[in-house]
Chain A
């Protein structure tokens, strides 16, 4: 194990040494000599973002429960740290033991959003690991990807040895066992990859060949060896009550984005919004019982001392046993003087009573997500929320003492007309009116309605995966149009950078040929693209033009018979269902949620037990 020199000197020169030096409460300390497998778990963004991520906490815990494995963390260094590292020739190292990442057996990288791809290349280069999987030697770590972007990993396929598709709790153990076996057998690097290609949920991109048609679309994508499966089916945990959940979270010294004890209430979402990838790839809905959740909460409060507790899921108010859970959690948190935060509440089943009990003292802002301005458009995206729902919820909130609400919308959705965009302005206006029309609000306090308007990005494995994405110019026009239509000064309008949305869309639905662009962008210095101070669209444009690749090819509409780069992955939800949902969107026809009526998407077949799963309620 190499000891890195000059670290203390470097730490004293950077702004946030605690992001690199480890030693946080509950971080795992093992003697590296005592283990057979060393796993570096990377979040390809900064510490404060990465440390907020639940998936990393879960897998860190599970890997470190194994006596034969030591899992350590690594993050993208901030600009000041990277400069110092390059100056002092310090390679990328882990937080726990300051070991160079290159010396690990595995480098696992979680893929949460497309705009972190440049960080992956930068981290590999800092680690002195060959960027291309094909150029790695026998001593290099296996680079493994997982998380939502692994569902279409083609744009980064050349940089990874393999991907884990779906939930990692079980499969990661199988990968470690296979590693030990392979070591014993004395196999070569390629042998391990062929060995794990047989494990369900493992995708080894080098075992597949892709050919293209003259128009640039994919002609075929097929295995080039007998070990590789025709299709890779995602892995899920059937019974969430029986799977391990960390009883300890690492408590960072410095503040992070979500600095609290989080318990995971359920996975999946009953709603089926047609733009939402999470709502499809995490199907079916599986809930934890209130008993398990209260136990998780107790353990975390005791082991972390956190003053805040959060519930994590895609739509907390859809939890079937919410009232009971909330009662029991509130009893616990009040006793321990811990505040409880409830994110992701829906407009149609918003309970003021619950909000008030949770936020006894502070009336922080409330956020509602109608997503689209007109009823027609909300039906197109299957949001299943009415104007009446929103008006009712906003009125309740205002009468309950809140005087500021935030509304989330999207523009650039498929089948969108300018009238739908105007609908955003009209609806926001009506929310302002709620405040003044009610007799119970305090008119001396000013009301404020903040609009957050994001540009729609079509994602793989959604009914809108075939849709065209608006160009930067069109999105800009639509934003200006919306701005012109907002006349009320109580409404504040924030919009997301649309150039980053287009880039995100290109990589979300991209194919293997985009790896060239990523390599070029890395050469040009692209990194930390999720940070405004670092993102540089011009560099990205240059990378595309230097490689002779047209972004428009990737933003265009696809036909149903085109082979999509992610067709090799099976998420358990059928292509027929997606197609049908897209056709219904065209007609602005809605689909009931999973709890009202099963729409036969196919996800039920993924579950091995019926307990806690919405498909068998």
Chain B
């Protein structure tokens, strides 16, 4: 009998350099330590059934991560959260646990906060550009891509740039690519090193997932 649950969690400073693949393995081990009745995949190398909404890039923090898990027995969501939080390393915390499946398949948009060394004085001209071409490495070589359609909004305040960008399997734009474009197209602008934080994820109608 498979029981579906989904968890909301945060990934903070102390674990922000853990890559997505390493995070997946780390989470599987935490589930073992929590003695949760894990449902395993079939096949030669059984692994815990975990589904992540949207992989987080190395170096990013987040307060809105979603993960679906499958257990072979019924456990109350509160107990899952409690048991996992007791064994997770510092820097990962389950914020809430729920029965059933999440809406992660509808994921379409993400909200990021970027903290650069220097913020640009204005963003209007950049947003008014009809096309924003940036070089992207693909399997067949370097390609010019237009990222403008995937920028929904950018807001600049003191020390912080907020970005609403396409996210998910349909189209996914990383804020670091937008920063690269800003460095390229905003005259005289040099962002310096940036910190990145994922704030929220939404469906196409901007409903929180």
| A residues apposed to B, CB below 8 Å | 8-9, 11-12, 17-18, 21, 23-25, 251, 253-255, 301-307, 336-337, 361-362
Q: Is the CB of A18 within 8 A of B17?
A: yes
Give the contacts of B17-75 with A (CB-CB under 8 A).
17-19, 22-23, 25-26, 28-33, 38, 40, 44-46, 58-59
Q: Is the CB of A304 within 8 A of B29?
A: yes
The residues of A that contact B14 with a CB separation of less than 8 Å are 23
In the A-B complex, list the 4 residue pairs whose CB atoms are closest, starting with the nearest. Answer: A305-B29, A17-B17, A305-B32, A305-B33
Name which residue of chain A comes closest to B14, CB basis: A23
Q: Is the CB of B19 within 8 A of A307?
A: no
B159 contacts chain A at the CB level, 8 A cutoff: no
A sample of 5 more A-B contacts (CB under 8 A), given A25-B26, A305-B87, A337-B38, is A8-B195, A11-B17, A25-B29, A253-B15, A253-B18
Q: Is the CB of A306 within 8 A of B17?
A: no
CB distance from B12 to the nearest CB of A (A): 10
B90 contacts chain A at the CB level, 8 A cutoff: yes
Q: Is the CB of B32 within 8 A of A255?
A: no
The residues of A that contact B31 with a CB separation of less than 8 Å are 305
Q: Is the CB of A251 within 8 A of B29?
A: yes
The residues of A that contact B89 with a CB separation of less than 8 Å are 23-25
CB distance from A18 to the nearest CB of B (A): 5
Complex Cα spacing A458 to B90, Å? 47
Q: Is the CB of B30 within 8 A of A305?
A: yes
The residues of B that contact A17 with a CB separation of less than 8 Å are 17, 58-59
Complex Cα spacing A337 to B36, Å? 12
Name which residue of chain A comes closest to B44, CB basis: A361
Other-chain residue from A25, A255, A303, A362 in contact with B44 (beta carbon distance below 8 A) = A362
Q: A12-B59, A12-B193, A17-B17 are in contact. Are A302 and B22 (CB under 8 A)?
A: no
Name which residue of chain B comes closest to A338, CB basis: B32
B100 contacts chain A at the CB level, 8 A cutoff: no
- The size bracket of the interface on B is 20 to 34
The residues of A that contact B33 with a CB separation of less than 8 Å are 302-305
Other-chain residue from A11, A18, A306 in contact with B29 (beta carbon distance below 8 A) = A306
Q: Is the CB of B30 within 8 A of A253?
A: no
CB distance from B170 to the nearest CB of A (A): 28
CB distance from A341 to the nearest CB of B (A): 14
Complex Cα spacing A251 to B58, Å? 19
Q: Is the CB of A23 within 8 A of B91?
A: yes
The residues of B that contact A305 with a CB separation of less than 8 Å are 28-33, 87
Q: A24-B89, A25-B89, A336-B32 are in contact. Are A362 and B59 (CB under 8 A)?
A: no
The residues of B that contact A251 with a CB separation of less than 8 Å are 26, 29
Complex Cα spacing A25 to B30, Å? 10
Complex Cα spacing A17 to B58, Å? 9
CB distance from A385 to the nearest CB of B (A): 32
Q: Is the CB of A337 within 8 A of B40?
A: yes
CB distance from A361 to the nearest CB of B (A): 5
Which of B17, B22, B38, B44 has the most chain A CB within a 10 Å cutoff? B17
Q: Is the CB of A21 within 8 A of B17?
A: yes
Other-chain residue from B18, B30, B40 in contact with A18 (beta carbon distance below 8 A) = B18
Other-chain residue from B26, B44, B46, B87 in contact with A253 (beta carbon distance below 8 A) = B26
Q: A17-B17, A23-B89, A253-B18 are in contact. Are A307 and B59 (CB under 8 A)?
A: no
Name which residue of chain B comes closest to A15, CB basis: B58
Q: A23-B89, A337-B46, A362-B45 are in contact. Are A18 and B32 (CB under 8 A)?
A: no
Complex Cα spacing A60 to B85, Å? 26
Complex Cα spacing A18 to B15, Å? 8
Q: Is the CB of B15 within 8 A of A23?
A: yes
Name which residue of chain B comes closest to A18, CB basis: B17
Q: Show 28 residue pairs from A and B whose CB-CB distance is below 8 angstroms, ordered by the A residue.
A: A8-B195, A11-B17, A17-B59, A18-B22, A21-B17, A23-B14, A23-B90, A23-B91, A25-B26, A253-B15, A255-B22, A301-B32, A304-B29, A304-B33, A305-B28, A305-B29, A305-B30, A305-B32, A305-B33, A306-B29, A306-B32, A307-B28, A307-B29, A307-B32, A336-B32, A337-B32, A361-B44, A362-B44
Against A, the Cβ 8 Å flags (1 = close, 0 = not) of B172-195 are 000000000000000000000101
Complex Cα spacing A255 to B31, Å? 18
